[in-house]
A and B are shown apart, each in its own frame.
Chain A
Amino acid sequence: MTREILYFAWLRERIGLPRETVDSDAATPRALIAELAARSDGHAAAFDDIAALRCALDQVLADLDAPLGDAREVAFFPPMTGG
């Protein structure tokens, strides 16, 4: 399935892209990360510490082990620092 993958903050900087379109059969964000990490050295660096990452499916926060389902937009980012 084709999905839009979005990156924010230092993930975006390490990967060098704000977004990319990816075709993947991964069932969860965690499985998708494993595929993405193999795309480049920048991706590998961005996904080096998975415990430090957050994820949103179609703009709703989700667990890394949640089913990806038919989510069109998958975002990965570091823990938020608002306020």
Chain B
Amino acid sequence: MAARLTDLPFDPAHQLAGFGAGAGAVVTFTGLVRDDTGRMAALEIEHYPGMTERAMTDHGMTAAARFRLVDWMILHRHGRIEVGQPIMMVATAARHRRAAFDAADYLMDWLKSRAPFWKREIGRDGQAAWVAAKPEDEDALSRW
């Protein structure tokens, strides 16, 4: 059970060593930096030191209680992340698959619009632009 921030590249598979012991189902989701415009070099992630770690831990614990998780993990990068690299992952472990899927989905919806992270796209030409929040990410929270 852990929420972690890192400014270093990570391998999602390595994060799962020992994860979810005793569970019947493990679900993992990894977000990769993708280039929608064909002109992007990297993303730069700003966060709110102190609040980000606390908010991620609180929501992991909320998900654990709500979906009766055996184990959970939230890992999110900050700083500069090259196109194609993992930016974040969540993993959930439960007795049965439905709870593990739902908890992972819930954590993702929450991370999109409630965790204090802000993305900036860095173009190959060096130009930077803040990514605007999507209304559908906010709407997705109402499912829960």
Contact = CB atoms under 8 A, between A and B. Distances in A.
Answer whether A and B are interacting partners.
yes
Interface of A: 6, 8-10, 56, 59-61, 75, 77-83
Main secondary structure of the interface of B (DSSP, over half): mixed
Interface of B: 31, 45-46, 48, 50-51, 54-55, 76, 87-88, 108, 111-120, 130-133, 137-138
B138 A82 contact: no
The 3 tightest CB contacts between A and B, nearest first, are A82-B117, A79-B133, A59-B51
Residue of B31, B88, B137, B138 with highest tally of chain A CB at under 10 A: B137
A9 B46 CA distance: 7
Contacts of B31: 83
A80 B26 CA distance: 28
Given A81-B132, A81-B133, A75 B51 contact: yes
Contact of B115 (A6, A75, A78, A82): A82
Given A56-B51, A83-B88, A10 B130 contact: yes
15 contacts: A9-B130, A59-B50, A59-B54, A59-B55, A75-B51, A79-B132, A79-B133, A79-B138, A80-B117, A80-B133, A81-B112, A82-B113, A82-B116, A83-B88, A83-B115
A57 to B, nearest CB: 11
